[in-house]
Chain A
Amino acid sequence: MARTDCSAGRLVLVALTALALGGCPRAPVVQPVATPAPPPPVAAPKPPPVRTDLFVVLPGADGKTGQVTVTQGGVEKVLSTPYAAARIDPSGRLESSTASPQEVRQTFGATVDALPPRPVSFVIYFLQDSAEVTPESRERAQALLAEVARRLSPEVVVTGHTDRVGTVEYNDRLSLQRAERVRAELVRLGVNPARITVEGRGEREPLVATPDEMPEPQNRRVEVSVR
């Protein structure tokens, strides 16, 4: 009985559909007719998440404060004074603000405490046009080794520099030779070679600015950074 009723119901549906399709019964498609599906149960609309983004520029260890820009959509805030801040306000807009040192301590204390220790640099000087170390520079090695020993996971970055006598390419090679020379010395003194990286900066980073081709002993150096 139920089946018959059902078939009858389907026939009616097919007929209706055929009518709706303009009397073309070749491929009757059974479609839901007339009564629209009830709307799905409405979940209580979630309030849009309230963002709590905060950006603060801090005074540097050298006493100078840097500069950061914060951009959201087309809005840009420039932060360049100690504790200058930008916040996303409850309406979602980016606003200029300031943060107190206390707020920074409270919000970012554990974070700032996890910053790795500052790298410490040692400078080793060279004789002109040579990979020979000056006698005074040999003594500096002891302080360097102590710094390596003090760190949990020390990396030693050896960066060679030259003065501006010679071409850029020549000085790139010479600076790397000087760095390699110091690297070999550090390995001889017991530093794990796997922890040493060697770089050559050529004449790009003089300690003392000079015209090109000017000999300058202070620029013929290797910096060893322990980080």
Chain B
Amino acid sequence: MRNASTWWTGISVMAVATALLAAPAFAQDAGELKVSRGVVHIERSGQRLPAPAGMRVRQSDVVVTGADGSAGITFADASRLSVGPNSRLAIDKFAFDSTTHQGAFETSLEKGTLAAVSGNIVKQSPGAMKVRTPAAVLGVRGTEFVVRTGDGTN
């Protein structure tokens, strides 16, 4: 019994520690929409929100643009990303420690076009930024690049 209770205590302590460690990353906004032209939405928790400039962007958001839309985001690590018309960009993971500059930054370009200038996460840890498309994975060591993904229908 003593062993079991020690074990449970251990698990609880670990769970609390994990929650504490994880909390800042989730509480933290990933970045801010600086440019919003034409039709731009953010899909968040199953909702489709209009996305004007100044809107804060979080991990798990999906940025969606219409046929005349484009949008630009500056992230907490000073990296900058933009999407062109008819695009979908999912912010899969964003974590950044502003003291050490350690972090991870993963996005998926589901369709359309992306332009990017990497920031402090990549400067600290080359390769810690990734962009996925349905067909391939791009790893970023620096600095400026563009990506188009499509299946011929867009």
Report the stretch among B11-19, B42-50, B140-148 that lies at the interface.
B140-148
Interface residues as binary, A109-132 with B (CB distance below 8 Å gives 1, 0 otherwise): 011111111110000000000000
Q: With an 8 A cutoff between CB atoms, is A35 at the interface?
A: no
Which chain A residues numbered 53 to 108 have a C-beta less than 8 Å away from chain B? 53-61, 64-72, 79, 86, 88, 92, 94, 104, 107-108
Q: Are A70 and B136 also in contact (CB < 8 A) when A110-B70, A114-B84 are?
A: yes
- B85: A residues at CB distance < 8 A: 110
Q: Are A114 and B78 in contact (CB under 8 A)?
A: no
Interface residues as binary, B61-98 with A (CB distance below 8 Å gives 1, 0 otherwise): 00000000011111000101111110100000000001
Q: With an 8 A cutoff between CB atoms, is B6 at the interface?
A: no
- Using C-beta atoms within 8 Å of the partner chain, give the interface range for chain B: 35 or more
CB distance from B77 to the nearest CB of A (A): 10
Instruction: Tell me the bound Cα distance from A49 to B34 in angstroms.
Output: 34
- Please give the number of chain A residues whose Cβ is less than 8 angstroms from any Cβ of chain B in the complex: 54
Which chain B residues numbered 30 to 58 have a C-beta less than 8 Å away from chain A? 32-35, 37, 53-54
- B71: A residues at CB distance < 8 A: 114
CB distance from B35 to the nearest CB of A (A): 5
Q: Are A71 and B99 in contact (CB under 8 A)?
A: no
- A1: B residues at CB distance < 8 A: none
Q: Are B136 and A55 in contact (CB under 8 A)?
A: yes
| Contact with B139, one of A68, A108, A157 (Cβ below 8 angstroms) | A68
Residue of A nearest to B109 (CB): A53
Residue of B nearest to A107 (CB): B148
- B33: A residues at CB distance < 8 A: 153
| Contact with A60, one of B140, B144, B147, B148 (Cβ below 8 angstroms) | B144
Instruction: Tell me the bound Cα distance from A172 to B100 in angstroms.
Output: 10
Instruction: Tell me the bound Cα distance from A112 to B116 in angstroms.
Output: 8
Q: With an 8 A cutoff between CB atoms, is B60 at the interface?
A: no
Q: Are A111 and B70 also in contact (CB < 8 A) when A58-B145, A69-B139 are?
A: yes
Q: Are A153 and B54 in contact (CB under 8 A)?
A: yes
Binding site for B on A (CB under 8 A): 49-61, 64-72, 79, 86, 88, 92, 94, 104, 107-108, 110-119, 152-153, 155, 157, 159, 172, 197, 199-202, 204, 225, 227
Other CB < 8 Å A-B pairs besides A112-B146, A116-B35, 7 of them?
A57-B144, A66-B145, A72-B137, A116-B80, A118-B80, A152-B53, A227-B78
Question: Nearest 7 A-B pairs (CB), nearest first?
Answer: A66-B142, A111-B84, A116-B34, A49-B151, A114-B70, A66-B143, A114-B82
